[in-house]
Structure 1
């Protein structure tokens, strides 16, 4: 009995379209034009004078201020920064989920386009600009910073949640609809459980980003560690500023680790 050991033919690679080559050529030209147009002074950056000046500046940060009274103030500002980021992210997650429903096309094309345009406007304005605008209405302090984080993050999470709803497999919801279940109930019992791990992962990731943004928003007077950093740097109190910077680094590292553990737990 003979056996046919002939190997199947190898798949033929699809030809690359001319539009792909045009896009790649355009990107290469853009990169080359960027380097050619920007005055990048690499020689001055790595000069001995620049290195000496930088080392003298960094030497002023040592040693960090460790007085108990000052550490207590840093601890309060750290909690304030964490609270700003957490509340802003929670508000943004709730509003983003609500806006993601029309943005995913569940209420028609017109509602989808209008909602996505609104989300584009929210996320196209940086947090610092939102904080500068809201400081006029809400005054100095963490309230304006919290609202600024929430508005920008609504635009980001709303778009991500809408994409998650659109990319969700429709078969489970369609099965419930065929059996007479109403659309809202089918969404709650089929679509939402499938998308919730991805939505939670997006929310945790944005919380990490908002931690960093909240630490910077204090530069415009929105409270927290950023406001302390601006105050001490403006007075050239480098040792106190070093303590604030170390607190920022420790806070961001702790939140990154916690977020990583939570995301791993959800994906198991």
Structure 2
């Protein structure tokens, strides 16, 4: 017994052939331009691997002087621990003291929060300036103004971190679901009530994660700030390099590595608990 097949009501349309020639030419031109830019960059920076090979003996001599590390308690370990704690405190204060400024500027720089274009552009401009100037430049200026020490490092991190964190928080606020805020606005809630009951609670997990990330980054940045006189263990590393005490320097680097790992583990643990 044979069954009759019902012909399709609509005949399948043939798939048009795509002309990929123009797209392939575009990709080829883009790739050639990328290679040309890198070629110019390598020539301008003298980035030649043979120079590293030629200086291999100097690298070996450096590590021969750095290993084993100097583990003297009175002259190396104890000052290193004090400097390490100072570095941690600089990173902590530079992060937490920038929170009030960053949150105010972030709300002003978020389109979904600020309707006044003048306020929006002003907050964006301030964040762009603070973000564009590196923290080490702020530290150099502040060391000249207030002298050597951790205070200059904390202030430098506050200024730079306000710009970076304010920008990240503004984007986090803009990316949140606007449904609850719209519902509160429709119900007659004020702008402050919308922020307190909708915008901030919705974006709080992302804001907290970015805050912990910036704390991790600022602890590492505070090490570099010490190299320009802003206190911390970076100051000890700079002194060891200038006096050619590479075994001391290696000890301080090991201590910094331990601190970075501990801060990273603490941040990961705290994120899991939030």
How would you bin the TM-score normalised by the shorter chain? 0.7 to 0.9
The whole-number CA distance in structure 1 between the counterparts of 2:161 and 2:48 is 36
Give the counterpart of 1:45 among 52, 68, 89: 52
Aligned to 2:79: 73
Verify: 1:94 aligned to 2:100, yes or no.
Answer: yes
The whole-number CA distance in structure 2 between the counterparts of 1:122 and 1:76 is 30
When structure 1 is superposed on structure 2, of 193-202 and 104-113 the one drifting more is 104-113
The whole-number CA distance in structure 2 between the counterparts of 1:88 and 1:15 is 56
Shift of 1:191: 1.0
Verify: 1:32 aligned to 2:40, yes or no.
Answer: no
Give the counterpart of 1:64 among 66, 69, 73: 69
Shift of 1:42: 1.5
Shift of 1:264: 2.8
Compared CA separation, residues 25 and 95, structure 1 to 2 (3 A): farther
The whole-number CA distance in structure 1 between the counterparts of 2:245 and 2:87 is 21
Pairwise CA RMSD: 2.8
The whole-number CA distance in structure 1 between the counterparts of 2:222 and 2:82 is 14
Give the counterpart of 2:159 among 126, 148, 151: 151
Structure 1 spans left out of the alignment, 5+ residues: 3-7
The whole-number CA distance in structure 2 between the counterparts of 1:255 and 1:144 is 22
Q: How does 1:174-185 map to 2 (within 5 A)?
A: 174-185=182-193
State how many pairs are aligned: 257
Query: Between Structure 1 and Structure 2, whose CA radius of gyration is higher?
Result: 2
Aligned to 2:261: 253
Compared CA separation, residues 120 and 233, structure 1 to 2 (3 A): same
The whole-number CA distance in structure 2 between the counterparts of 1:258 and 1:15 is 54
Compared CA separation, residues 28 and 220, structure 1 to 2 (3 A): farther
Aligned to 2:240: 232
Output one character per residue of 1:59-92: Cα deviation in whole Å (capped at 9) or x when no partner. Answer: 1111212122131111111110000000000122
Query: Does the residue aligned with 1:40 lie in a helix, a strand or coil?
Result: coil
Q: How does 1:185-196 map to 2 (within 5 A)?
A: 185-196=193-204
Shift of 1:46: 2.2
When structure 1 is superposed on structure 2, of 25-34 and 137-146 the one drifting more is 25-34
Compared CA separation, residues 130 and 27, structure 1 to 2 (3 A): farther
The whole-number CA distance in structure 2 between the counterparts of 1:125 and 1:233 is 27
The whole-number CA distance in structure 1 between the counterparts of 2:240 and 2:19 is 60
Compared CA separation, residues 243 and 183, structure 1 to 2 (3 A): same
Shift of 1:209: 1.0
Shift of 1:194: 0.9
Structure 2 spans left out of the alignment, 5+ residues: 6-11
The whole-number CA distance in structure 2 between the counterparts of 1:140 and 1:64 is 28
